[in-house]
């Protein structure tokens, strides 16, 4: 029983680490590609640029998450 909970916790930890590094990578990569609101609209103040960039990444991850949830429910419905 303990091995199962240990494996489950390890799986959740790995997922969180992947999400953290993907977020950092997307933020750095989008800024270097010029996809930052600060580079597109230089008249914005720094806080607004940070907020808009964060909201853009949040929307992107939400869309990816919704797609993955849809694929997971389709896979689970085939198992039944």
Asked if pLDDT for residue 31 goes beyond 80, the answer is no
| Tokens 């997922």 sit on residue | 15
| Tokens 């680490």 sit on residue | 17
Average pLDDT for residues 21-37, to the nearest whole number?
Answer: 79
Q: What is the pLDDT of residues 34-79, one digit of tens each?
A: 777 888 888 989 899 888 888 888 888 899 889 989 999 998 898 8
User: Residue 14 has what pLDDT?
Assistant: 92
Asked if pLDDT for residue 27 goes beyond 80, the answer is no
Asked if pLDDT for residue 1 goes beyond 60, the answer is no
Which domain does 35 fall in, by range? 2-79
Distance of CA 77 to the CA centre of its chain: 25
Total domain count for the chain?
Answer: 1
- Whether the pTM exceeds 0.75: the reply is no
Average pLDDT for residues 3-18, to the nearest whole number?
Answer: 86
Contact criterion met (CB below 8 Å) for 1 and 14 = no
Rounded-to-integer distance, Cα 55 and Cα 51, Å: 6
Rounded-to-integer distance, Cα 59 and Cα 25, Å: 16
């Amino acid at each position: 029983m303990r091995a199962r909970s240990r494996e489950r916790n390890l799986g959740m930890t790995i997922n969180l680490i992947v999400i953290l590094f993907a977020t950092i990578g997307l933020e750095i990569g989008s800024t270097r590609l010029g996809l930052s609101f600060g580079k597109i609209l230089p008249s914005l103040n720094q806080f607004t640029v940070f907020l808009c960039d964060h909201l853009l990444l949040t929307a992107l991850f939400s869309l990816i998450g919704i797609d993955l949830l849809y694929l997971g429910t389709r896979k689970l419905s085939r198992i039944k």
